[in-house]
Amino acid sequence: MESCPSGRVSLQITKLEVHSLSPQKSPETTTLEEKCCRVCQAASDGSHFGVEACRACAAFFRRSIVLSKEYICRQQGAMCKIFKGTRMCRKCRFEKCARLGMIADQVQNRPAEKEDTYMHASPSSSESPIYDPVKLSIGQIAPMLHDMNEKFKHFLAVQKSVEFTMVEGGQMPRDAFDTVIHRTERPLATFPTMCRLARAILPCLIEFVQSVLPPIPTLSTDEMWHIYRAFSPGLWIFESAYFTYKFNLGANLLMFTQTTVIDMENTRHFYENSVVEHNVDTLANMLKECMHRDMDMVRQLRELEPTEIEVIGLLGILLWDQNAACEKESLVQLASEQRDKIFQELNSYYRFVLNIPDYAVRLGKLMCLYSSLQHNAGHFKEELELFNIMNLFQADTFIYDFIKR
């Protein structure tokens, strides 16, 4: 023990002294503690990437490395607590994995553990392709979904550029190129703005859908238009929920587009300068109900934390499922074939990229999210008729004409 210049007392204890002062643990106690995941304190499944961890944390770390994921802290950089049973901040969870010593290089170089027995299963599974998860990329394992994802990212980039050129007053938000959305700098959405954006973005949407469709020389213009109209409402609704989830907005804020938000406490603002005054309160309440439904999707997204491939898989199912309603038999058959391809590629992606041989629960959550999306899109189409009766489209009929006629 020695005195510090400040007058405080400094204690210097060697590791040997600490060991001798600590209560001795029985072998049973040591075994139990060693089986605890060092990341989230759940039951350990063994050593993963150099650290004692549970399967969930190991899979999370592997997925983050393989997909080069970039996360945003829910508390804006604070050291969030990581415990099993809580909604864990992904950024802080990943940083804790690295801080504890998980080795990123082992993600690609470690031997395939349970994939070996799964990939060389009984002859009944011979229809599923056999991959080497170390040597093949996502583009080789899930080529259609990978291609759709690249084209969708291009579509979002063009969409964002279009929106920035149409911001009220010609002002671009200061955080245009930031990873984190600063909610106070996002303008509130309005119905007239929505109509202008929908009109401007439609060519981009058509180009995206055309780029992901297989060659269909027999489709007429009316049938192609049916595809665009059937797909658009679900896409708009999903984008709103996904951007809200991705940028972690406040409880009352919903990302309406990539550049605008809707405040649940101020839904009247959305209808400014667009309707007769006596309809505003009714419309504002209807919008609030829509937001509650979308917020439920945000909750599902936070629980699932989908990857880009899962997102594009969901949108691909949306694209082809809606088209099944078309009366053209050849298109119905094509839609069924495309859905089968999507599920086959999701199967390979889960098994050989995410390393989840038993992915039933995760796929089930993705399908629950899809069910919510269908439900919300159906409500949206019904509400368009009510909006039309209330003269909301009196000044601009574009959205109504595009979806309903």
Q: Does 185 fall in a domain?
A: yes
Question: Token digits for 393?
Answer: 């489209």
Does 147 lie in the same domain as 76?
A: no
Report pLDDT digits (tens) over 201-239: 999 999 999 899 887 766 777 778 888 888 999 999 999
If one compares 53 and 32, the residue with the highest pLDDT of the two is 53
Task: Please report which confidence band the pLDDT of residue 68 belongs to, taking 50, 70 and 90 as the band edges.
Answer: confident
Q: For residues 283 and 287, give the distance between their C-alpha atoms in angstroms, rounded to a whole number.
A: 6
First to last CA, the chain: 85
Does 258 lie in the same domain as 303?
A: yes
Domain carrying residue 65: 38-110
Q: Does 171 fall in a domain?
A: yes
Three-class HEC string of 230-270:
HHHHHHHHHHHHHHHHHHCCCCCEEECCCCCEEEHHHHHHH
Q: For residues 29 and 269, give the distance between their C-alpha atoms in angstroms, rounded to a whole number.
A: 61
Domain boundary among 110, 125, 147: 110
Does 321 lie in the same domain as 363?
A: yes
Question: What is the CATH number for 327?
Answer: 1.10.565.10
The reported pLDDT for the residue numbered 187 is 81
Question: What is the CATH number for 74?
Answer: 3.30.50.10
Lowest mean pLDDT among 22-26, 315-319, 376-380: 22-26
The reported pLDDT for the residue numbered 186 is 75
Q: For residue 24, what is the DSSP state? A: P
Does 142 lie in the same domain as 62?
A: no
pTM score, whole prediction: 0.67
If one compares 228 and 7, the residue with the highest pLDDT of the two is 228
Q: Does 10 fall in a domain?
A: no
Q: Does 116 fall in a domain?
A: no
Averaged pLDDT, 143-168: 88
Report pLDDT digits (tens) over 13-35: 333 333 333 444 444 444 444 57
Does 207 lie in the same domain as 61?
A: no
Q: Does 101 fall in a domain?
A: yes
Question: Token digits for 127?
Answer: 């229809």
- Structural domain count, the chain: 2
Q: For residues 196 and 162, give the distance between their C-alpha atoms in angstroms, rounded to a whole number.
A: 11
If one compares 28 and 101, the residue with the highest pLDDT of the two is 101
